[in-house]
Amino acid sequence: MQGMAAALLTAALAGLWAFLHSGWPPVPHRLARRAVRHIVWFGGMTLLGLLALGQWRAPSQTPAVFDPARALVVALVGGGLDVAAAWPWALGGIVAGGTIIGLVERWRGRPFGLGDVEAVMPRTPRELGWGVILSLTAGVMEEGYFRLLLPLLATLATGSAVVGFGLATLLFGAAHRYQGWKGMIATAVTGALLAAVYLASGALWVAIALHVAIDLNALVARPVVSGRVRFGDTA
Return per-residue pLDDT of the chain as tens, 235 residues. 789 999 999 999 999 999 999 989 999 999 999 999 999 999 999 999 999 999 999 999 999 999 999 999 999 988 888 877 787 888 888 888 888 888 998 888 877 777 788 889 999 999 999 999 999 999 999 999 999 999 999 999 999 999 999 999 999 999 999 999 999 999 999 999 999 999 999 999 999 999 999 999 999 999 999 988 888 655 5
Exposure class string for 34-58: b at 16+ Cβ within 10 A, else e? bbbbbebbbbebbeebbeebebeeb
- Look up the domain containing 92 and give its range: 2-225
Task: Answer yes or no: is 58 within a domain.
Answer: yes
Task: Answer yes or no: is 234 within a domain.
Answer: no
Tell me if 122 sits within 8 A of 128, measured CB to CB.
yes
Task: Answer yes or no: is 14 within a domain.
Answer: yes
Task: Answer yes or no: is 235 within a domain.
Answer: no
Task: Answer yes or no: is 31 within a domain.
Answer: yes
Minimal CA–CA distance to 81: which of 204, 216, 170? Answer: 204
Task: Answer yes or no: is 233 within a domain.
Answer: no
pTM: 0.93
Domain count, the chain: 1
Task: Answer yes or no: is 231 within a domain.
Answer: no
Residue 59 three-state SS? coil
The pLDDT value recorded for residue 159 is 97
Q: At what angle do helices 180-201 and 204-216 cross, to 10 degrees?
A: 140
Residue spans of alpha helices (H) in the chain:
2-21, 30-37, 44-53, 67-77, 83-108, 125-137, 143, 150-158, 161-174, 180-201, 204-216, 222-225
